[in-house]
Amino acid sequence: MTLGEDVKERILKRRRYPLTQEKIWRRLSNDPKLKPFLYWTSPTLSNDVFQHGVGNCALVAALSSVSSKRQLLRNMFPTSTVSEYGVYRVRLCVDGEWKMILVDDWFPHRNDRGSNGFSMACSTNPFPDVRKRNLLGNHAFSVVDVGELGDAKYLRLRNSWGYNRVKFEEWSLCSPELADLLKMENVPTIAGSFFVEWKMFLKYFGQLSICRYRPHWSVLRVNMVIGGKWDDSQKNILIHVPRNCEMCVKVIDPNNKAKYRTWISIHRVDELDSNECGELLMCELIQESSRDISLTPGDYILMITELLGVKKESNVAIYTSIPISARICSWSPKLLIDVFQKAVGTFGREMRGYTRHDICIQKYTDNEDSFIVVMAENYTIDKYLHVHLRFAHPTPILFSRSDEDERFADVIPPRRRQILIVAYRSPVFDGKGFGMNVEYWVSKENKTKIGRSNRAEHVPFIRSDEYVHFTTVID
């Protein structure tokens, strides 16, 4: 018996697999049996929302946070009156696009267990270290407040159940000193809330989602093709900024929820039709949304791409503190190469021990070590620079080029530079760095090899759509 068959047999013995199809539909508005499943009746504050019998704690925690913003509720629900027919319109941003969705108040209900008729987004199995603190493992909470008292930073969280675990006090995750200070503040009581000192939050909570709700900002939305082999369907966005402003960019792929794969760059352009990279303000790997960036008056190119050779359509939203104008413009592999090489030169640093007067090896990474870009430059006139990279890291790494046992070898001709590798991993994994080993030398040989591979200029071979790794001339 295979492992999968064994697991399925054990589930079958519990009579919970496959899910039975026998269910009935009941109206939430007029069935007293469904009262325990009500989220809230008249939400005006985050503490008005209760999870009750609904199994999706992540949804309820999100609703709790949204309820503290009345304007958001007005935008989501065009009407606040109760429908006699139980039909309502809800305005939601789905995969980066605002859509009006028609919903009713009929809910599936099954007799075997109360929550099985609803989608389950989280598990109630506690992790060992979390259980010691009487916290719910893998459970979602809403953030009610954040603040500082003295040198201590804290958050106030709320359990959507409306109450906390047995033997769990409101101050259980605070130092005695901070607890005493908070008690002196005489903060109002909120059902199910508790305080967490920042250092305790980092220890026991694995994820924090922040919605940057800024109702006075402007937004431009566009659906565009990014990545893949260049066929002129890929485009950039030309932005005109009339005066100083803040901007952030959000990119969502509706067909693929994988994260840490989208690169965005912003550079200034002096001539609108120029294919040259001007002053580079940003070139980063983002998880859906970028950080805020300050822009002065002028014209900018926003480039959005991914380096895994996959062509896809994405929804792009550009948020700005003032109204701006934008239009689609041409994209080219040359500009992509120029942007990444300039990013390493601008934001990167020379690797200690791998730089001398005739060659230079630089790397560019972020503060979380979620990505690394390595570039080599050969200043010699008549010799070839050989560079071998080998990665050894316990967490999964994605590479911008196909790999052979996470090893790469390149030969850079005289007076040339090349991006050797772009690697990235999820920052949720513990540990720092990429465990990268670098070997280099110069010689008259124009080919190299790894292990039993054939001698070549690049191992593995650089495909025709892996533009970022093309060599360029050093001026």
Contacts (Cβ under 8 Å, ≥6 apart) of 245 = 294, 295, 320, 321, 322, 324
Question: Using CA atoms, how far apart are residues 446 and 463, in angstroms rounded to an integer?
Answer: 19
Helix (H, G, I), strand (E, B) or coil at 413: coil
Q: State yes or no: is 283 an active-site residue.
A: no
Phi then psi for 395, rounded to 5 degrees? -100, 155
Residue 77, C-beta contacts closer than 8 angstroms, at least 6 positions apart: 88, 89, 90, 91
b vs e for 195-220, b when ≥16 Cβ sit within 10 Å of the residue's Cβ? Answer: bbbeebbeeeeeeeeeeeeeeebeeb
**Cα–Cα distance list, 238 to 241, 312, 458 (Å):** 10, 20, 35
324 touches 344 (CB < 8 A)? no
Coil, strand or helix at 352: strand
Can you point out the beta strands (E) in 112-197? 141-149, 152-159, 193-197
Name the CA radius of gyration of the chain, rounded.
Answer: 27
Q: What SS3 class is residue 437? A: strand
Cα(52)–Cα(39) distance, integer angstroms: 7
Please calculate the CA angle 188-194-198 and round it to the nearest 5 degrees: 115
Residue tagged 């994605």 (tokens): 398
- Residue among 57, 245, 283, 360 flagged as catalytic: 57
In angstroms, the Cα distances linking 285 to 206, 235, 391, 392 are 21, 18, 20, 21
For residue 414, give the DSSP letter: T
Is the dihedral angle over the CA atoms 69, 70, 71, 73 positive or is it negative?
A: positive
CA atoms within 13 A on the CB side of 33: 11
H or E stretch at 60? helix 57-66
Give me 43's structure tokens: 């939400």
Beta carbons of 114 and 51 less than 8 angstroms apart:
no
**CA atoms of 51 and 61, how far apart (whole Å):** 8
Annotated catalytic residues are 57
